[in-house]
Structure 1
Amino acid sequence: MTALYIFLVLMVSQCVFSETGKLHLPSEPCEVSDIDCVSKATQAFFYNTSDGIPEYDIKKLDPIVIPSLEKTIEKLNLNVHYKNVKVTGFKNQQITHFELERETKAVQFKTKVNFTAEGELTIELPKISKSFAGTITIDASAEGGAAYSYTVKTDDKGVEHYEAGPETLSCTVLGEPTIELSSDLKAALEKDADVQKLLADYTKHAPESNKVTVCNIVKTVYAVSIHNIRAAAKVLPKSAYFKNV
């Protein structure tokens, strides 16, 4: 029995080490208060799993394609449609804040990210039945955040795992994003008299409108980041993450 017990312990340990290596977590768990360790572990996880790991249900993070995003500027009766937006840069996000409360089982973290988004763009003026299509490139910096609670679940093999609850996402745009429209779209907008009438009003709303677009992108990609954290937690035991939690 003693030999069998030792053999089983070694087998489990090897499996845990193997999965930890595949998911690029440190060989030793972090102290919750060790922000340097937590930062390095989280950043390494996002970077090294950014291509996705289908066997663990970890989705591709960078580049990531957002099929569609919608935005309405009601004051201008303007609808904006984004399609097939390719976003790059999220594998390099850097932790700026991390907090785990043992008593309330609440987690909060924030990361800074510099990213580029490229996709198709359609600007629609529904009241006069006009639309203009082309492409758009966005370069932006933002701080994204996620807050969620966690529980500890024991699987059918008696191994404890973290399980994250529903997240609340936040976003703060850092600086002014750079927006570039394709030359054909710019030319069409410049030539249209109705668009030119709206130009002065649009200029007033553009900074806030651009921030809305940036944060829509950030929150969409952040949701995938949290999904991947959840997926990894289903694979790795609780003990692989933190000490004394």
Structure 2
Amino acid sequence: MLIKVISLLFLVQCAFSEDSLIKPCPVEDIQCLSETTEKFLDRVASGIPDLDIKAIDPIIIDMVCSKGMADLMVHFKNANVTGLRKQKISDFKMDTAAKSVVLSVNVDVNIASNVELEFEKTKKIYSGTYSATGKAALTAVYNYEVKANDKGVEHFEVGPETITCDIKDLDAVASEEITNGIVNDRHAKKIYDENRADVENIKKRNACDILKTAFAVVIHNLRTIAKLYPKTAFFTNV
């Protein structure tokens, strides 16, 4: 038990030492906040399991189910998402009266996943692979509380987040097993043809479903570090 405690203290010292990551900023100083947050995310991109800090690059998402066209469910399995360690904060707003935060980032992302297209009416499933690249704007909105521990030290407690996504310059491609299956399936082809005008929007929604799941891991890590350090480690005027 003693060895584990010493190991955890060593991890904290290495990962969050003052000269490497932690730098308190004025809440209105977006440049300072961006630099310190981006440095933190980059340094812990591989995760620190003993501190409940999860890997963010790559992020492996076991399964995401997304509604595609009518009668179609898209199942993403073992989705591999890369790029989040280099995300750039575009906006940070902290309302100390309402105790709310809006965090927006821009990121160049790559997604590679196994995928199944399931047509619910005919029960047919086409399996293959999926890859996508694009530029995404992700925004997380969450509330927080300031609570003191048993020693009177105040910490931030971050509440559940709501995430929105906007993706541009999306290049999404499915493997031949899927595209050939749709072409040769009368029912599937009919659905595709009827929704042809909305295909690009559907592709964006599917990619965003994956990215929102991935960005939730980033917020989880911020929530975790907020528990490990007093509020004065993050802000000079809150």
TM-score between both structures, scaled by the size of structure 1: 0.85
* Between structures 1 and 2, the one with greater helix share: 1
- 2:5 alignment partner in structure 1: none
- 2:24 alignment partner in structure 1: 29
CA offsets 1:109-145 (integer angstroms, 9 cap, x no match) = 1001111111111112232232211111011211111
Contact 2:147 2:157 in 1 (8 A): yes
Q: CA deviation at 1:66?
A: 0.7
- 2:95 alignment partner in structure 1: 101
- Structure 2: stretches of 5+ with no match in the other structure: 1-10
After TM superposition, the structure 1 stretch with the greater mean CA deviation from structure 2, 98-107 or 40-49, is 98-107
1:113–1:23 CA distance, 2 compared to 1 (3 A): farther
Q: CA deviation at 1:19?
A: 6.2
- 1:124 alignment partner in structure 2: 118
- 2:138 alignment partner in structure 1: 144
1:99–1:122 CA distance, 2 compared to 1 (3 A): same
Q: CA deviation at 1:93?
A: 0.7
Residue type at the aligned position of 2:39:
A
- The yes-or-no answer on 1:85 pairing with 2:79 is yes
Contact 1:140 1:214 in 2 (8 A): no
- Structure 1: stretches of 5+ with no match in the other structure: 1-14
1:52–1:41 CA distance, 2 compared to 1 (3 A): same
Contact 2:68 2:206 in 1 (8 A): no
- 2:65 alignment partner in structure 1: 70
1:19–1:197 CA distance, 2 compared to 1 (3 A): closer
Q: Distance in 2 between matches of 1:127 and 1:77?
A: 6
* Alignment RMSD: 2.2
Q: CA deviation at 1:157?
A: 2.9
Q: CA deviation at 1:78?
A: 1.5
Q: Distance in 2 between matches of 1:168 and 1:133?
A: 31
Which contiguous aligned blocks of 4+ residues in structure 1 show a shift greater than 4 angstroms? Answer: 15-19
After TM superposition, the structure 1 stretch with the greater mean CA deviation from structure 2, 83-92 or 153-162, is 153-162
1:1-245 to 2 correspondence within 5 Å?
20-21=16-17, 24-26=20-22, 28-73=23-68, 76-173=70-167, 175-245=168-238
Q: Distance in 1 between matches of 2:187 and 2:39?
A: 50
CA offsets 1:93-116 (integer angstroms, 9 cap, x no match) = 100001112222221110011111
Contact 1:115 1:141 in 2 (8 A): yes
Q: Distance in 1 between matches of 2:192 and 2:220?
A: 40
Q: Distance in 1 between matches of 2:127 and 2:18?
A: 43
Identity level (%): 35
Q: Which has the larger radius of gyration?
A: 1
